[in-house]
Amino acid sequence: MSNEKAKMILDKNYQIAKVDERIYGSFIEHLGRAVYGGIYEPGHPEADEQGFRKDVIELVKELQVPIVRYPGGNMVSAYNWEDGVGPKKDRPRRLELAWRTTETNEMGTNEFVDWAKKANSDVMMAVNLGTRGIDAARNLLEYTNHASGTYYSDLRRSHGYEQPHNIKTWCLGNEMDGPWQVGHKTAYEYGRIAQETGKAMKLVDPSIELVACGSSNTGMPTFPEYEATTLDIAYNEIDYISLHQYYGNRSNDTANYLAKNMDMDHFIKTVTSTCDYIKAKHRSKKTINLSFDEWNVWYHSNEADKKIGPWAIAPPQLEDHYNFEDALLVGSMLITFLQHADRVKMACLAQLVNVIAPIMTENNGRSWKQTIFYPYMHTSIYGRGFSLKPILTSPKYDSKDFTDVPYIDSAAVYNEEKEEVTIFIVNKHLESSIPIDIDVRSFEDYQLVEHIVLENDDMKAVNTASNQSVSPNFNKESKLSDGSLVALLGKASWNVIRLKKNKK
Ligand code: AHR
């Protein structure tokens, strides 16, 4: 045990903001085995009448995913949405340029909407601003959201979907700042097409919300100028700006790796300031919020992917097998979102099934939970309510890229309706457990429900279809009395401490 202690004061009146549940969103791209062999596999013993794997839907439901981004990702930048609607036998096979595979188009917009309903999720739809533009976007929106009596709405009805899908959240392209993107654009070029496409889309359906592309990661040479220019041009048309970020532990320096959510924190603060600068410049009353619509750990699969040849159908691309330390960083990233609940209103764990995902499947076989499934599930289930501002004193360390890294990361969520408080904590200390004393006096008559812990002696432990070696346990030693909660946070651990008001 460390000589150092952590202390926290939690008060129900110190609130950051109500958590927008869409921060627990995820992402399904037509990439690798996310769609084919992931959510959709006709002929699988668990497939339903539409070919959707029921075992996968059950796992998605366990995660309570409120919104799923679709159909890409890089893929959307050369995608013709028309290829994926209408009778399946007439759908063309195409070269999918982003991932250099063959796209069969067996799944498309309508099927994805059906799948999302079965998984209790909403759809966040992305339009192609790479090879296409205003016309394809406004036609797709007319197809999905207009009731009837026009060419595209009646086309949808002729495809068996009498009622409009009413998709509310739309992404104006994907990572348009990236030179890898088909149809990559400078900030000025992108700002203009986002503005004009957004304008046309809101004429079709004024109730939608639009997300404009920001930077693909903090290392982009155009960050944060890309955001500033895009916002400056398209401020009136858009509602959110997007952020994407993936991390990895390539140099096998775990202390440094676990500190990487500090980079994410800096990213969020920079984009927030950029939004507010443009708000001031425009003398606007409107606030642009943040959609962190791609985030995760991504590096384990990089070498394997280089060996996959082109034009296969649903090859096993981006299949990262996550280990225990990845789950800790994912937990810290989720904590970072909660700490910015006032501005981060949407976030999508990229992705959901097989492709850098919490859920894995075997073709024609089993499905299972990766290590990162657990922090994602815990925050999604218990992290709904008001994000509180914990007043935290934590011992700190320095790593290769970061100084003053708190060993303890924490966020807390107060669910007033359910009279519950949940405290999420990561202890990043690799050798020592750290005792913590949490002042919860403002939560009168609350009792400790449980202290869930994810820990493992092996930072590199992974889960497989037959072995869930990284799965949650309980710390039964934690105590709450006289408004003081005392717990021992195990070395390198993810902790979920749940309190609930006593029933009188
Ligand atoms: O999620 C995998 C890829 O990462 C997405 O297609 C792209 O948007 C990002 O670069």
For residue range 434-445, list pLDDT tens digits in order.
Answer: 999 999 999 999
Residues 6+ apart with CB under 8 A from 302: none
Would the CB of 37 count as within 6 Å of ligand 1? no
Per DSSP, 462 falls in state B
Pairing of strands 6-9, 367-369: unpaired
Mean pLDDT throughout 66-88? 98
Catalytic residue among 294, 325, 420, 455: 294
Catalytic residue among 82, 96, 175, 420: 175
Give the nearest ligand 1 atom to 73 CA: 6
- Counted residue by residue, the chain has a size of 504
**Range(s) for CATH 2.60.40.1180 in the chain?**
6-11+387-501
Q: Catalytic residue at 175?
A: yes
Nearest-CA residue for ligand 1 atom 7 is 73
Is residue 287 classed as helix, strand or coil in its secondary structure? Answer: coil
Pairing of strands 367-369, 359-361: antiparallel
Rounded to whole angstroms, the Cα distance separating 259 from 409 reads: 10
- Other Cβ atoms closer than 10 A to 52: 21
The side-by-side arrangement of strands in the sheet containing 434-439 is 391-393, 6-9, 434-439, 484-489, 479-481
Average model confidence (pLDDT) for the chain?
97
Answer whether 154's CB lies under 8 Å from 92's CB: no
Residue with tokens 């075997």: 362
The rounded Å distance from CA 279 to ligand 1 centre is 29
**Range(s) for CATH 3.20.20.80 in the chain?**
20-382
Q: Which CATH architecture has domain 6-11+387-501?
A: Sandwich (2.60)
The rounded Å distance from CA 366 to ligand 1 centre is 26
Q: What does the DSSP assignment read for 33-64?
A: TSTBTTTB-TTSTTB-TTSBBHHHHHHHHHHT
Q: Catalytic residue at 416?
A: no
Token duo for residue 63: 């995660």
Exposure of 8 by Cβ count < 10 A (0-12 exposed, 13-18 middle, 19+ buried)?
buried
Q: What is the pLDDT of residue 2?
A: 57
Q: What is the pLDDT of residue 354?
A: 98
Q: Residue 1 pLDDT > 60, yes or no?
A: no
Answer whether 206's CB lies under 8 Å from 168's CB: no
pTM, two decimals, is 0.97
Amino acid residing at 343: R
Give the nearest ligand 1 atom to 74 CA: 6
At 452-480, the pLDDT tens digits run 999 999 999 999 999 999 999 999 999 99
> Does the structural domain 20-382 have CATH classification 3.20.20.80?
yes
Q: Residue 129 pLDDT > 60, yes or no?
A: yes
